[in-house]
Amino acid sequence: MIKVFTTRKDFDHYRSTLTTQAIGLVPTMGNLHKGHISLIEKAAEENDVTIVTIFVNPKQFGPNEDFDKYPRTLDEDLARISAIALLINAKKDLVVFAPRSEEIIYPKGYSTMISVGPMTQKFEGSVRPTHFDGVTTVVYQLISITKAHTAYFGQKDVQQCLIIKKMIKDLEIPINIYIMPIVRNSEGLALSSRNQYLSDSERVEAMVLPHTLQKVEKLIRTKQDYKTFVVETLKADNKWDYLEVLDSSNFETTTDLTTELVIVAAYRAGATRLLDNILVPMNLGK
Ligand code: PAF
């Protein structure tokens, strides 16, 4: 059975009962899909207590973004988490913290924002300038409230992962960060809560994104000229916000010291922006 808390008082009381247990945190905005489920399962495997937070964080949405229409499906989410609870060791706790109001995370008068700096303004940040400050601010709050030992994130939002890791390092927050691989549908499209905005024809169009990334990966792995292919691809279709090959450790241009590349892209299918990426180790064939 899962435990569900919607107020700070109840959650804090529960948290105060935990003493020596290993605590895992899976921060989510709900509308759980198999990508989230993989994070929850991993956390439940590795920890005595797994806390899944469900909070659609207003601070990470820009003024013209989809905050109001972002899918809120708490009942279905709780059913999915309950199904996981049946499969894990009965001695372990699977807990949901779903604050029933914004004030539970940002009490009246709250004004602090956490900003990691220049890396929040590139790629996703160039299109969504306040987004990452909203993400780091809520993740900081969720870590403070839950006092978890390990937090789990999905690699689909690879820039988010990098920025959160930088915040953890700079602020010396005592928590481990674990990144889980991207989960894809049977056709290869990375799972995302925003996929449900796609019409049938946009769903077909969206496949350009994983197919292009696979093509770039193949060119890199076979040591062919991927740079020209990237330039030509961007020129041929204005639905790309970006398509780049970067050093995965810092989102900068690759150097001789780069040990892993990330092929990273954002593509617009209709009004929906879709993100995807592939990690490629650099020691190929060495
Ligand atoms: O990746 C997400 O769903 C969100 O950005 C997160 C990390 C839960 C913060 O609201």
- Give residue-wise pLDDT tens across range 150-187: 999 999 999 999 999 999 999 999 999 999 999 999 99
Say whether pLDDT at 198 is over 60: yes
pLDDT tens profile 113-131: 999 999 999 999 999 999 9
Q: What is the percentage of the chain residues whose pLDDT exceeds 90? A: 97
Q: Residue 284 — very low, low, confident or very high, per pLDDT cuts 50/70/90?
A: low
**Atom 8 in ligand 1: which residue has the minimum CA distance?**
28
Over the stretch 240-265, which tens digit does the pLDDT of each residue have?
999 999 999 999 999 999 999 999 99
193 dihedral zone (left: phi>0; alpha: psi -120 to 50; beta): alpha
Catalytic positions, written as ranges:
36
Is any ligand 1 atom within 6 A of the Cβ of residue 124? no
What does the block give as tokens for 237? 């279709």
Q: Indicate whether residue 44 lines ligand 1 (CB < 6 A).
A: no
**Closest by CA position to 130, among listed 66, 29, 62:** 62
Query: Is pLDDT of 286 > 60?
Result: no
Beta bridge partners of 280: 261
How distant is the alpha carbon of residue 134 from its chain centre? Answer: 13
Q: What is the Å distance from ligand 1's center to 237 Cα?
A: 29
Does pTM top 0.85 for this prediction? yes
Residue 189's contacts (CB-CB under 8 Å, 6 or more residues apart) are: 195, 203, 206, 207, 209, 210, 274
Provide the residue type at 98 as one letter: A
Domains detected in the chain: 3-180 (3.40.50.620), 193-280 (3.30.1300.10)
Q: Which neighbouring-strand residues pair with 94?
A: 50
Q: Is the CB of 24 under 6 A from ligand 1?
A: no
Q: Is 138 in the pocket of ligand 1 (CB under 6 A)?
A: yes
Pocket test for ligand 1, best of 25, 37, 57 (most atoms within 8 A of CB): 57
Q: What residue type is 241 in one-letter code?
A: D
Q: How many Cα atoms occupy the beta-carbon half-sphere of 204 within 13 Å? A: 2
Cβ pair 182, 277 in contact under 8 A? yes
Burial-class residue 280 by CB neighbours within 10 Å (0-12, 13-18, 19+): middle
Question: Checking phi first, is residue 16 left (phi over 0); if not, alpha (psi -120 to 50) or beta?
Answer: alpha
Q: Per-residue confidence at 1, pLDDT binned at 50, 70, 90?
A: confident
143 vs 146: CA distance, rounded Å: 5
- Are 143 and 25 a contacting pair, CB within 8 Å? yes
Span from the CA of 283 to the centroid of ligand 1 (angstroms): 32
